[in-house]
Amino acid sequence: MQTENRPYSKKLLKYMHPMLRVAIALLCALAMVWPNEGLGMELKGTWFYFLVLGLSLLIFITLMMIHHITLLLDRKARWEDGFLKRGFFQLMLGFTLPVIICFLLSSVYFRWLWPDITATKYTVQLYFLVLGIPLLMNCGYCLYYLSYFFRVGIQMAATIKDGESFSDDLIFHHQGGEVKVKAGEIAYIVGHGKNTTIQPHDGDPIILKLVSLKQVYQTLDPNRFCKVNRSYIITFGAYQKSRRHDRGLRLFLNPESKEPVIVSRDMVVIVLRFIADRQNAIAI
C-alpha cells in the first residue's frame, strides 16, 4: 500500500514556480527592448528602465493569468475527460483573455510612457509579446499535463456492471505501482479537484492522483458507502454523530476530517436512512 503523509491537496500540478515566471518576464523584456545600437547612451535615459520594468510586469501578468486559469480549468474540465472541450476553454480563457488584457494594458502604458521604441527591438518582437508568449505557455502547460498523465498511467478498477458483486479489494494502478485497498479498511473518501484521498480507519491517508471521486464511487458498494456531499463518501464505521447545521446536518467522523462535513437539506434523508439501515443491520 502506497501512502503519503500530507494534508489534502486541492491541486495536483504546480507547473511553473513564481520566481521562474519573474525570470522569464525579465529576460523576455530585456531581449525585446535591447537597443539596436548605442547601448551606453540608451542606459543613461530613464525611459529605457521604465520600458524594461513595464514590459516585465506585462509579461508577468500574462504568465500569471495563464497559470491560474490553467489551474482553474484543471479542476473544472480535465484534458482526459474531454480533450476538445478543455481545448476550447483553454483557447478562450487561457489564450484569448490574457492576449486581450495584455494588449489593453500595453496600449495604456505606452501612451503614457511614449518611448522611442523605434530604437529598440520592440517593434520587431511586438507580436511575440502579444501572441507568442501566451501561445507557447498554453502549449507548454498542455504538454506538461498530458505527459504527466500518461507517465503516471492511471487505470481505475473496472466499473461494476449490473448483476456483479462488489469486490472487497479495490485496486488502482498509480504512478507505475499498484495501490490495493480493502473496502473494509476505508473510513471515508475525500475528493478535491483531480486528487482523491482515501482515509483508512487506522493509518495515514492514501492520495490517488488524477483519480476523481466519481471514478472511485463507481467501484464502491452503495450498501457500505454513502456519498454525503460533493466531496465526501463515508462508511458507517467512520460515523460518530451528527448535529443540525442550518437546514442540513454536520457529520462528525473518526478519524477526524480536515474540514467540516456538511450535508445539504436535499441529502439529509438519504444520509440518515443509510445510517439507520446500517444500525439495523448490525443489531440483527
**Domain ranges, ordered by start, for the chain:** 18-152, 169-283
- Give the pLDDT confidence score for residue 2 in this predicted structure: 37
Q: Can you say whether residue 180 is alpha, beta or left, with left for phi > 0 and alpha for psi between -120 and 50 degrees? A: beta
Q: Which residues contact 136 (CB under 8 A, 6 or more apart)?
A: none
- Give the pLDDT confidence score for residue 129 in this predicted structure: 67
What does residue 164 show for φ and ψ, rounded to 5 degrees?
-85, 150
Burial of 209 (0-12, 13-18, 19+ CB in 10 A): middle
Query: Which residue has 484543471 as its cell numbers?
Result: 74
- Give the pLDDT confidence score for residue 225 in this predicted structure: 93
- Give the pLDDT confidence score for residue 175 in this predicted structure: 54
- Give the pLDDT confidence score for residue 179 in this predicted structure: 77
Query: Which residue has 498523465 as its cell numbers?
Result: 149
The total number of residues written for the chain in this structure: 284
With a cut of 50, say whether residue 157 has pLDDT above it.
no
Calculated CA dihedral for residues 99, 105, 106, 109, nearest 10 degrees: 180
- Give the pLDDT confidence score for residue 177 in this predicted structure: 58
Which of the four pLDDT bands, split at 50, 70 and 90, describes residue 199? very high
With a cut of 80, say whether residue 70 has pLDDT above it.
yes
Q: How far apart are CA 68 and CA 271, in angstroms?
A: 36
- Give the pLDDT confidence score for residue 5 in this predicted structure: 34
> In the numeric block, which cell numbers belong to residue 131?
501572441
pLDDT digits (tens, 9 = 90+) for 81-103: 778 888 899 999 989 998 888 88
Dihedral (CA of 147, 149, 153, 159) sign: negative
Average pLDDT over residues 34-60: 70
Q: How far apart are CA 130 and CA 118, in angstroms?
A: 18
Average pLDDT over residues 156-168: 56
Q: How far apart are CA 121 and CA 47, in angstroms?
A: 15
pLDDT digits (tens, 9 = 90+) for 98-154: 888 888 887 777 777 665 555 555 555 666 666 788 888 899 888 888 777 666 544
Q: How many CB atoms lie within 10 A of CB 258?
A: 13
Could you tell me the CATH superfamily of domain 169-283?
LytTr DNA-binding domain (2.40.50.1020)
How big is the CA angle at 228 (ends 187 and 74), to the nearest 5 degrees? 90
Q: Are 228 and 238 in contact (CB under 8 A)?
A: no
Which of the four pLDDT bands, split at 50, 70 and 90, describes residue 186? very high
- Give the pLDDT confidence score for residue 162 in this predicted structure: 54
Which of the four pLDDT bands, split at 50, 70 and 90, describes residue 28? confident
What single letter denotes the amino acid at residue 283?
Answer: A
Which of the four pLDDT bands, split at 50, 70 and 90, describes residue 251? very high
